[in-house]
Amino acid sequence: MNNGDTLRKLLRDADAKGYAIPAFNFSDIWDFKAIVEAAEEEEAPIMIASNPLVVAELSPAICAGFGLAAMKQAKAPVILHLDHSFKTEMCKDCIDEGYPSVMIDASKYDLETNIAMVREVMDYAKENHVHVEAEIGKIKGKGIEGDFKGGDFLAAVEDAKALVEATHVDSLAVGIGSAHGFYQGKPELNFERLAQINAAIDTPLVLHGGTGIPKEDIQRAIKEGINKVNVGTIIHCTYMNNLRAELNRVGENPYTLDVMKAVYPKVKEVVKGWIRVCMANGKA
Ligand code: 13P
């Protein structure tokens, strides 16, 4: 089966069995390795996501190269994904390189423009069965994936319905109060709105801004209809903080592999914890 179709099947399975597919952001080959090994050891289906900054820096071809190799070799279902592309061109470039899943985030535009951009990517994705995620409402906070501080973040049920009816998009990220980056205070998720959107449409729903949301809230969101949970900040912060600690420990003239072999297992432990929070362990 093509990997886009595999993802559609995994999201349906997650919905039926009451867990979520976690999607982890990677920045290089070492956190990528940590994420894939965590999925294998937890026997979990996961998504491994490159954000547009990483794709722009490393190139769609290199990111696709990592992902295609992992999708072939890994002992668990691992699906490569382009996270939060604000441009249709990057979605197309990644599709050309073999990505099975892309996100077009046109949530900052009006509904009509959002629909038009999602349609454009859906049309391009069709031939290769590529899975497409869109966004309605807005993800709060400041992070690599965007910066939104306004009050009108909440996804409207009618907008979610209209976007899905007009585009038949495969999955939908919903603005329900979650934020990219670390939270200031306790996250306040609007579970009522989530349940309303879930009742109105059949499309798998995605929760962004996983870092910092307590386990109980993640699991409640899954119960109310979330099928995919995005986690980024805690991955790169764990990676970089442990890298600094290890470099300080070993002192001058370290060898890359020695340092990385000490650091990446720390990232793997965090990923495993999130797989369990999403209840995806043992679901491969
Ligand atoms: P965090 O960085 O807050 O975990 O969010 C990740 C995310 O939503 C990526 O799209």
pLDDT of residue 141: 83
Q: Is 84 in the pocket of ligand 1 (CB under 6 A)?
A: yes
* Stated pTM of the model: 0.97
Evaluate if residue 146 carries a pLDDT over 80: no
Dist. CA 182 → ligand 1 center (Å): 9
CA 164-97-65 angle, 5° bins: 120
Give the pLDDT mean for 248-272. Answer: 98
What's the residue count for the chain? 284
Evaluate if residue 136 carries a pLDDT over 90: yes
Sequence letter at residue 262 = A
Local confidence band at 66 (pLDDT 50, 70, 90 cut-offs): very high
Q: Is 208 in the pocket of ligand 1 (CB under 6 A)?
A: yes
Q: Is 145 in the pocket of ligand 1 (CB under 6 A)?
A: yes
Q: Is 232 marked as a binding-site residue?
A: yes
Concerning whether 13 is annotated as a catalytic residue, the answer is no
Task: Please state the separation of Cα 26 from the chain's center in Å.
Answer: 10
Residue 263, both tokens: 């650091």
Q: Is 137 in the pocket of ligand 1 (CB under 6 A)?
A: no
144 against 243, higher pLDDT: 243
Q: Is 177 marked as a binding-site residue?
A: no
* Average predicted confidence (pLDDT) for the chain: 96
Residue 207: helix, strand or coil by DSSP? strand
Local confidence band at 152 (pLDDT 50, 70, 90 cut-offs): confident
Please state the atom number of ligand 1 nearest to the C-alpha of residue 233. 2
Local confidence band at 1 (pLDDT 50, 70, 90 cut-offs): confident
C-alpha–C-alpha distance, residues 39 and 35, integer Å: 6
Q: Which residues pair with 222 in a beta bridge?
A: none
C-alpha–C-alpha distance, residues 68 and 85, integer Å: 19
pLDDT of residue 110: 96
Where would I find the beta strands (DSSP E) of 27-116? Answer: 46-50, 78-85, 101-104
